[in-house]
């Protein structure tokens, strides 16, 4: 995966260069960083038992997953349709009050968005 002369990035140590590859030894890569030197496995792990490598060919991009946000709003349901065919006409923000409009019943709801 890595070879002598490769520029590598460590999440813990920053950018470095593979200076030596000792072949078949367990920790065969010797990497020189700005402030330290370290040995790694061929696949870039600091410890063989690590589930993920520490070395990468490029600086990894870490993305934060979107979170689910709960909102409260109001909907106006048509009273002019049959009960089992009611439909949501629109969603209003929290400033909308629980009142009855002509031909509509207003109900508070909870809905979710991702941010």
Q: In what order do the strands lie in the sheet with 7-10?
A: 37-40, 29-33, 14-21, 7-10, 55-56
Burial of 6 (0-12, 13-18, 19+ CB in 10 A): middle
Q: Are 80 and 106 in contact (CB under 8 A)?
A: no
pLDDT in tens, 52-68: 999 999 998 888 777 77
* Nearest Cα residue to 113 out of 60, 53, 67: 67
The whole-angstrom distance between residue 115's C-alpha and the CA centroid of its chain comes to 11
CA distance 71 to 18: 51
Ordered per-residue pLDDT tens for the chain, 115 residues: 898 999 999 989 999 999 999 888 899 999 999 999 999 999 999 999 999 999 999 998 888 777 777 777 666 666 655 443 334 444 444 444 444 455 566 666 777 777 7
């Amino acid at each position: 995966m890595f070879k002598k002369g490769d520029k590598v990035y460590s999440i813990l140590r920053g950018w470095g260069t593979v200076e030596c590859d000792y072949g078949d030894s367990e920790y065969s890569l010797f990497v020189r960083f700005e402030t330290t030197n370290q040995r790694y496995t061929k696949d870039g792990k600091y410890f063989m038992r690590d589930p993920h490598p520490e070395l990468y060919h490029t600086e990894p991009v870490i993305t934060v997953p979107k979170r689910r946000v709960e909102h409260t709003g109001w909907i106006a349901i048509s009273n002019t349709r049959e009960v089992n065919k009611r439909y949501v006409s629109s969603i209003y923000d929290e400033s909308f009050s629980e009142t009855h409009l002509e031909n509509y019943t207003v109900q508070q709801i909870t809905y979710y968005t991702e941010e």
